[in-house]
Amino acid sequence: MTRRTALAANLVMLVLLSACANGEPAPTRSPLPYPTIPQVTATPSAAPTGTAPPGTPPTKPNRKKPAKRGTVGPLNTQRLTGTRAVALTFDDGPHPQWTPKLLDQLRRARVRATFCVVGVKVRKYPALVRRIAREGHSLCNHSWQHDLKLGSRKSDQIRADLSRTSQEIRRAVPGAEIRYYRQPGGKWTPSVVAVARSLGMRSLHWDVDPTDWDKKTTTPQIRGRIAQQARPGSIVLLHDGGGDRSRTIGACPQVISSLKRKYGITLLR
């Protein structure tokens, strides 16, 4: 570097630093042809990595570009297991037709899963919730009646809904541990996350959504999407209630065996 270019570089540095000191944002790219200029940020980062600022609408999982998925869900919710093993989660049950079939499959494969149950269904089918717990699976609170707008209601309404659901689960399974809450539709808000936390529950998002909830999704599509999108630590979203789940039940034996072989299947605790 000649003396003249070194002087020019110093001058640009000074201009940059004074611009930053005035509160103007630092340019994102160095105007200099070499990368030695120190990065100066005008303001300290407002949010920790992976945390969306308040008011940010929940993001939909990007199904086309799984490579861009982060390690946490919307509003810092849990997206990965934290180990290489993946976790299976089944929502919207229990259901008298589908849940027993699924429990049979899980038992045959010797894997355990997490069931995100809806309060009104728990009230209707407490024996199924008891079987879920008896066979070693985890129970997750999925709200009283699957209210998609629950997150935008008042905190006391959210608290009443979540508490009522947990009480109903414990009425079926006395002393049940309920470590997770999953917001219907993944429509997380800061208040629903905060209320769940205050009730001792972590907010459970997912990493892979094969859209088995969509009637148009076929059994091979459920299998294919999971095979394509799963990565180490993925939490997989599936459903054992909320409609005709024959396609999910049809996909599960192969989904379970291939995930088990490739990553291992862990129980969320």
Residue with smaller CB distance to Zn ion, 91 or 212: 91
User: Alpha helix locations (H) across the chain?
Assistant: 3-21, 98-109, 119-124, 126-134, 155-172, 190-198, 219-229, 246-262
Catalytic residue among 147, 209, 239, 240: 239
Task: Provide the binding-site residues for Zn ion, judged by CB under 5 A.
Answer: 91-92, 184
* Whole-angstrom distance, CA of residue 121 vs CA of residue 95: 7
Residue with smaller CB distance to Zn ion, 16 or 74: 74
Residue with smaller CB distance to Zn ion, 92 or 207: 92
Residue with smaller CB distance to Zn ion, 90 or 263: 90
Report in angstroms the alpha-carbon separations of 260 from 85, 100, 256.
8, 21, 6
In the complex, minimum distance from the CB of residue 91 to Zn ion, in angstroms, rounded to a whole number: 4
In the complex, minimum distance from the CB of residue 56 to Zn ion, in angstroms, rounded to a whole number: 21
In the complex, minimum distance from the CB of residue 116 to Zn ion, in angstroms, rounded to a whole number: 7
Question: Could you give the dihedral angle defined by the CA atoms of residues 168, 169, 170 and 171, in that order, rounded to the nearest 10 degrees?
Answer: 50
Nearest residue to Zn ion by CB is 91
Q: Which residues 6+ apart lie within 8 Å of 203 measured at CB?
A: 73, 75, 76, 77, 78, 180, 181, 182, 183, 188, 192, 193, 196, 197
Residue with smaller CB distance to Zn ion, 74 or 184: 184
Give the sheet arrangement for strand 114-117, strand by strand. Answer: 202-203, 178-181, 138-141, 114-117, 87-91, 235-239
In the complex, minimum distance from the CB of residue 23 to Zn ion, in angstroms, rounded to a whole number: 45
- 91 classed as catalytic: yes
In the complex, minimum distance from the CB of residue 237 to Zn ion, in angstroms, rounded to a whole number: 9
Catalytically active residues are 91, 239
